Structure 1
Amino acid sequence: MLLDQDVSKGTLRRPEQGIARHEPGAYRADIDGLRAVAVLVVLLFHTGISPLRGGFIGVDVFFVISGYLITKAVWQELQQGRFSLLTFYERRTRRIFPALVVTVAVTFVFAPLVLFPSERTTTVWTGLAALTSVSNLYLAVETLGKSGYFAADAYSQPLVNTWSLGVEEQFYLVFPFILLAVSGLGRRRAGAVVAAIALASFLFCIWLTGANRDLAYYVPLSRAWELVAGGLLVFLSLPRLPARIRDGLALLALALILGSAYRFHGGMFFPGVLAVAPVAGAALLIAIGSTGGSHITRCLALPPFVGIGKISYSLYLWHWPVFVGVALITARAPTIPEAAGLILASLVAAYLSWRFVEQPFRQRRIGRTAGSLWRQAGAAWCACGLLGLAIWHVAAAAPQTESDRLAAYLTYDDRDVYLRGTCFLIGYQQTVADFATADCLSPSVVKPNILIMGDSHAAHLYRGFEAALPQAHVMLAASSGCKPLFGAGGDPECVGLMQRMFERFLPENRPEVLILSARWADYDLPLVAETLRQVKDRAGIVVVSGPIAEYQRPLARLLAQVAGGRSDALLVGSRATEQAKWDHELQALVEASGAIYVSPYRLLCPNPETACRTMVGNVPLQWDYGHMTAEGSQALAEAIIGTGAIPGARAWQEAAP
């Protein structure tokens, strides 16, 4: 990922007239320290046990650093009349390709040992796309093309982190030409053009994040402004502020980065406007380091940070395959000592990669000329390609085992089962206008009406109740990540859909049974009580469906591992524990409100010391961390009806022909 570290060691001269005037080869130890902050934030986030839920913003920091260093180097060479596109791309190849190709090759070799066939296929194509600098585009298409909305499991994709390399390399296929075109305009006018490009990319990013967050995350046009933000520093006159102000601004900049890492999470609309915080923090720290520095930038220049910064590229590459390999074997989040071990192992792998792979190429001990470098790169690409295609072919041609059959549910097609796209909206891809009201909310005049409302954990109940109660009319109103609660904030499309249901549909239609279901959390409890108070007269019976059993890794994968010889204890050790606690708390609140509570968790897991119910015949009851298959949905619906929790449901069953 990222960042050109091809800067020579040199002396940093005092800025003249308050403006940053670094020599062309000036080395910035504080920037290596900032790299260390970025990569450590990513590593801590990826352990899965740190409070840095937004550690993915480390990549945004890398983008800013890369944009600054590359723009600075190219602009200086242009002004000196010695810029060469061939030399530029040779430097990029020396910087990026050697460590990447080794990482991809080693991952390919170990893939058959830990990945199932469908996972190996994705890994092979991701690796080959990474070597061609298009893994971001491949992953964007792969995400959009998944038959199941929830099918993207990063912990089965050891090369998914290479997406950021694709963004950078595609950016650098274009940006040097832009700098070349504006090089004769002078510093200010050229800066204005670059700023206009950054603004256009930023506005596009905001729009695309609202329209399709997945695409916005991967597409270079929506990420370019982050790299250009770093590049803009090259064109700005940066005043030398008083030391106290520099210290205060540096503290603010670091707070923007670390605060984003702590406060952001994967459910937010990112990148979009939110990405401004880490980008601004990184740009501000680089600017302060250019104009006299601060206590924080001097701290970043200390040897421990600089050392990690120097190996940050290899560390970024290697940590994720290491983390994924261990996660797939253990099938759970690491403990604190295990996480420390993973980080240490990643550091060791990164140092070896930097010392024996990166450095020989960058110091021209290998591939001394551009021609020899291109030949070696081409040969390495072909070798990796042949290795990857061989692995893919073996996975496709090998006889299917029971493990392979179960693992195939990792790509379960949920579209028809969940009515995805019509009655179950994908909130960040669709609007309330896409909700198919005529198909989803047309009450019957001859059958009792059951309305299910909520998020994906409501959508996965739909097919089961429809199959179990053919004499009833089952309706669904759901949106991803959308709690069926009065006063809940968040995604405006979710808020809009729930408002429509609570304020218009329920008062006008009053279904016999209203089922509220979601992936509940402890912070939902106060709003649940208020919601039940509001809806108690808007339905004949109000039922709250509690948490379902969840797993730290997809259940289909766990079952495949057990079928391959692992102990059933894997199903217990990988089960999440929070749901059991929230289940009892939610039940007490719901019953105190006079509504009916059903517990999918206890129906599936009557004994917490043993494995839950996980199969319906030969089909997994759930296929990812917690969403049900069609067979699982019907089994759960029948279990709920069997408890008598829904008055009249048994009579509707018995009335079925």
Structure 2
Amino acid sequence: MKYRSEIDGLRSVAVLPVILFHAGFTAFGGGFVGVDVFFVISGYLITTIIVDELAQGKFSILKFYERRARRILPALFVVCLVSLVMAWMFLLKHDFKDFARSIVATATFSSNIYFWLESDYFDTAAELKPLLHTWSLAVEEQFYIFFPPLLMLLFPKGQRFVVFSLGVLFTLSLIGALWLLPRDTSGAFYLLPTRAWELLIGSFCALYLRGNVLALPVLAQNTLSALGLGMIGYSVFTFSKFTPTPGLTTLLPTVGTALIILFARPGTFVQKLLSLRAMVGIGLISYSAYLWHQPLFSFARHNALHEPPWQVMVALIALTLLLAWASWKFIETPLRHSTASQNRVFVLSSGGLAAFLAVGLFVNFNAALPYGNGRYNLLDKEANLLRFENNNKRLQEQSWAMLRSYAKGLECVGDCSKGNNDRKWFDEQDSRLRLLLVGNSHSKDVFNLLHLSPTAAHHLQVGRFNAQISNLTKDHRLFANTNYQMAEVVMIASRYKIVGGNDINNLQPLVEQILSDGKTVILLKNVFEFPIYLGGKWTHFDKLLHEAMSEGLTNGPEISERSDRDHYALFESGKQDQRVTAANAEIARIQTLYPQVLVLDRMDFVCSRAEQRCFTSNGQLEKYFPDYGHYTVEGAKVFSKRMEDSGWLQPILTVSEEALNLRN
């Protein structure tokens, strides 16, 4: 295959935006499209190599995988080893266990599936995962499992048949991405079937260039290649985490990359630009730079209460490039061109992968052992003060126990393998008011409150249907659900989202549907969302506690009092995400249209204007919030009582009395 310097230069166009995006520079809000550029380049290079060797009758699938092992694994092993050491140095117990799982996924080239099941790529918390970026390596390696055999099967039938067959796969993959995107945004982002079309764009480029290429004037080549570069640049600077990805918008960076591959021929401006020594140099080290940047950024974030300042991130970018050069110079290049036999390459590769797999599995299944991890972290130390819990993720998980334990004892009348929507929540022989909670995780919080309230338990049967409001259109299975049909009151409790489906736009039609079915509607306002830091690793209470400890303050009640006042000041300031205020404004508008709709605000018992405090912990420093506004188990106990004492529950009890009178 003839060397093209502009392709190495194009790699620099791919890797730098990704690094700057992960560093948190907002100007590069679409920097994640660098991965899309990489996919197209990979598809082009691999297809070119395979087809050329097939045409010469010398393609060997073992030789192909040997080249992949030499290219990918040496630098990956070094980065994983260093990351493992850094994880031991800087991560707390629960984070260290999560890291161990991710290293298992990396060693099995399944990290895209692991991160799909665990988190959203665009969640700030994802930036705390040192090996998050290996998802794209997993996609490529999974692609390389089936693609070479497929080309071997198709190639003897001629290039037109190859193009047609790959065109069918391209279409199915793109349609699959468009179909899955609104249903499972994370799945569409991470999984091979919805990403394969991007690699296939590169394949089409390779097949086109080996055929009878149309000779275009230099002006046309300049125009098309410059257009391609502009499309990538436009994507980098205008896309954001709210841009549907991968979708039709992803055609901008991918088709832009294809235009450069096809038309940045010698003599064009783009070819000269991408062939500059600096561009080619960064391109040559781009793989190692991609590997190094995320662990460095992640461990820096784990070592702070806040996002590290830009000066720190710039220094880490410089360190990334330095380490990338060293990896390329002393690891990648020598081992790619070593004289080691094919068998030795496979044995060493398998041994390295098996070693990381074994370490990851051992830590995962023996997480309780004292590994001494986290001892070198400057700020992320476990605060051993009274009953304070460092692990907010554990508190979040515990908050589900009440609901799940109760639901487990109910009869299942459908498919309960994916949740409890088909449990039999209501007993028709029970005279209490049948109230169905509908919504996301916040409906779980309200269930906990009502479940813990003796007054609510005396007057109400409470059921729950888990759903995102934007999905509850007229044909949704909620309306055929037995619990919905039996319910007399539907209470909507949710965190209203505007990305991946607009809950606010669907709220009025949903209310109208429920009213037309003869049911009472109760809308709960969106809670005030307190600040969280580093994607929810730290709550605002955690921040205040660490600050208090740095001042030498260890008195639990005093710290709790300070936190309550500080949270109240935030609440009174009214500074809130536009999504929250928009949701509450829409709820108020709906109430004016339908006065029979009851609207309640949970902040009425979370905060007290009379006392000028929001309740955030007790004197033993047990937190009431594990994040921006959900309730811990301890928080649910406190807020359930406050819900009764403040009179918040009374309007619901009035509805119960009216329903009972109607029955009689």
Question: What TM-score, normalized to structure 1?
Answer: 0.72
Moved more, 260-269 or 335-344: 260-269
CA, structure 1 residues 49+416, in 2 after alignment: closer, same or farther (shift >3 Å)?
farther
Contact 1:596/1:645 (CA < 8 Å) preserved in 2? no
Q: Name the structure 2 match of 1:288.
A: 263
The reply to whether residue 544 of structure 1 matches residue 525 of structure 2 is: yes
Q: Name the structure 1 match of 2:310.
A: 336
Give the superposition deviation at 1:126: 2.4
Rounded Cα–Cα distance in structure 2 between residues aligned with 1:192 and 1:53: 36
Give the superposition deviation at 1:103: 0.7
Rounded Cα–Cα distance in structure 2 between residues aligned with 1:388 and 1:616: 39
Rounded Cα–Cα distance in structure 2 between residues aligned with 1:205 and 1:526: 25
CA, structure 1 residues 530+369, in 2 after alignment: closer, same or farther (shift >3 Å)?
closer
Q: Name the structure 1 match of 2:448.
A: 463
Q: Classify the secondary structure of the residue corresponding to 1:271.
A: coil
CA, structure 1 residues 599+208, in 2 after alignment: closer, same or farther (shift >3 Å)?
closer
Q: Name the structure 1 match of 2:370.
A: 398
Contact 1:198/1:224 (CA < 8 Å) preserved in 2? yes
Q: Name the structure 2 match of 1:426.
A: none
Q: Name the structure 2 match of 1:170.
A: 142
Moved more, 94-103 or 309-318: 309-318
Give the superposition deviation at 1:631: 3.8
Q: Give the partner amino acid of 1:103.
A: V
Q: Classify the secondary structure of the residue corresponding to 1:81.
A: coil
Rounded Cα–Cα distance in structure 1 between residues aligned with 2:343 and 2:289: 28
Q: Give the partner amino acid of 2:630.
A: H
Deviations 1:30-83 (A, max 9, x none): x22322222222223223451544443322221111010111122122223333
CA, structure 1 residues 416+249, in 2 after alignment: closer, same or farther (shift >3 Å)?
farther
Q: How does 1:40-119 map to 2 (within 5 A)?
A: 40-119=16-95
Contact 2:18/2:34 (CA < 8 Å) preserved in 1? yes
Q: How does 1:205-604 map to 2 (within 5 A)?
A: 205-209=177-181, 212-236=184-208, 237-261=212-236, 266=241, 270-271=245-246, 273-290=248-265, 294-364=268-338, 368-381=340-353, 383-385=355-357, 387-388=359-360, 391-392=363-364, 395-398=367-370, 406-407=390-391, 409=394, 412=397, 436=421, 454-468=439-453, 469-470=456-457, 471-474=459-462, 479-480=467-468, 482=469, 493-494=471-472, 511=489, 517-519=494-496, 544-553=525-534, 580-582=574-576, 598=601, 600=603, 603=606
Q: Classify the secondary structure of the residue corresponding to 1:581.
A: coil
Q: Classify the secondary structure of the residue corresponding to 2:525.
A: strand
Deviations 1:548-596 (A, max 9, x none): 3241246676699889988557999x99989941289678997898786
CA, structure 1 residues 612+289, in 2 after alignment: closer, same or farther (shift >3 Å)?
farther
Give the superposition deviation at 1:118: 3.4
Q: Name the structure 1 match of 2:170.
A: 198
CA, structure 1 residues 169+535, in 2 after alignment: closer, same or farther (shift >3 Å)?
closer
Q: Name the structure 2 match of 1:487.
A: none
Identity %: 27
Q: Name the structure 2 match of 1:8.
A: none
Rounded Cα–Cα distance in structure 2 between residues aligned with 1:589 and 1:201: 38
Rounded Cα–Cα distance in structure 2 between residues aligned with 1:239 and 1:616: 77
Deviations 1:505-546 (A, max 9, x none): 99x9985x9666525789x99979999999999968765243
Give the superposition deviation at 1:324: 1.1
Q: Give the partner amino acid of 1:628.
A: Y
Contact 1:544/1:597 (CA < 8 Å) preserved in 2? yes
CA, structure 1 residues 297+626, in 2 after alignment: closer, same or farther (shift >3 Å)?
farther
Rounded Cα–Cα distance in structure 1 between residues aligned with 2:232 and 2:601: 43
CA, structure 1 residues 520+369, in 2 after alignment: closer, same or farther (shift >3 Å)?
closer
Contact 1:47/1:333 (CA < 8 Å) preserved in 2? no
Contact 1:458/1:518 (CA < 8 Å) preserved in 2? no
Contact 1:136/1:164 (CA < 8 Å) preserved in 2? yes
Give the superposition deviation at 1:216: 4.0
Moved more, 37-46 or 371-380: 371-380
Q: Name the structure 1 match of 2:379.
A: none
CA, structure 1 residues 532+185, in 2 after alignment: closer, same or farther (shift >3 Å)?
closer
Q: Classify the secondary structure of the residue corresponding to 1:548.
A: coil
Q: Classify the secondary structure of the residue corresponding to 1:126.
A: helix
Q: Classify the secondary structure of the residue corresponding to 2:308.
A: coil
Rounded Cα–Cα distance in structure 2 between residues aligned with 1:439 and 1:274: 44
Q: Classify the secondary structure of the residue corresponding to 1:167.
A: helix
Contact 1:549/1:601 (CA < 8 Å) preserved in 2? no
For these two proteins, the number of residue pairs brought into alignment is 598
Give the superposition deviation at 1:299: 2.9
CA, structure 1 residues 552+120, in 2 after alignment: closer, same or farther (shift >3 Å)?
same
Q: Which of residues 620, 624, 636 in structure 2 aligns to 1:621?
A: 624
Rounded Cα–Cα distance in structure 2 between residues aligned with 1:340 and 1:496: 51
Q: Give the partner amino acid of 1:92.
A: R
The reply to whether residue 127 of structure 1 matches residue 103 of structure 2 is: yes
Give the superposition deviation at 1:109: 1.2
Contact 2:100/2:361 (CA < 8 Å) preserved in 1? yes
Rounded Cα–Cα distance in structure 1 between residues aligned with 2:121 and 2:462: 22
Q: Give the partner amino acid of 1:461.
A: V
Q: Classify the secondary structure of the residue corresponding to 1:546.
A: coil
Deviations 1:287-321 (A, max 9, x none): 2225x675445433333332222211111111111
Moved more, 303-312 or 241-250: 241-250
Moved more, 113-122 or 367-376: 367-376
CA, structure 1 residues 604+321, in 2 after alignment: closer, same or farther (shift >3 Å)?
farther
Q: Give the partner amino acid of 1:271.
A: P
Q: Give the partner amino acid of 2:367.
A: A
Contact 1:410/1:557 (CA < 8 Å) preserved in 2? no
Contact 1:71/1:231 (CA < 8 Å) preserved in 2? yes
Contact 2:625/2:632 (CA < 8 Å) preserved in 1? yes
Contact 2:40/2:201 (CA < 8 Å) preserved in 1? yes
Q: Give the partner amino acid of 2:130.
A: P
Give the superposition deviation at 1:96: 0.4
Rounded Cα–Cα distance in structure 1 between residues aligned with 2:321 and 2:608: 40
Give the superposition deviation at 1:129: 3.4
Contact 2:624/2:634 (CA < 8 Å) preserved in 1? yes
Q: Give the partner amino acid of 1:33.
A: G
CA, structure 1 residues 461+82, in 2 after alignment: closer, same or farther (shift >3 Å)?
same
Contact 1:457/1:517 (CA < 8 Å) preserved in 2? yes
Moved more, 321-330 or 533-542: 533-542
Q: Name the structure 1 match of 2:112.
A: 136
CA, structure 1 residues 445+184, in 2 after alignment: closer, same or farther (shift >3 Å)?
closer
Rounded Cα–Cα distance in structure 2 between residues aligned with 1:397 and 1:195: 52
Gaps of 5+ in 1: 1-23, 423-429, 483-490
Rounded Cα–Cα distance in structure 2 between residues aligned with 1:121 and 1:38: 32
Q: Name the structure 2 match of 1:425.
A: none
Q: Give the partner amino acid of 2:394.
A: Y
Deviations 1:431-459 (A, max 9, x none): xx999489679999965676655544454
Gaps of 5+ in 2: 373-381, 408-414, 552-558, 593-597, 658-664
Rounded Cα–Cα distance in structure 2 between residues aligned with 1:463 and 1:106: 44
Rounded Cα–Cα distance in structure 2 between residues aligned with 1:462 and 1:149: 30
The reply to whether residue 26 of structure 1 matches residue 14 of structure 2 is: no
Question: What TM-score, normalized to structure 2?
Answer: 0.72
C-alpha RMSD over aligned residues: 5.3
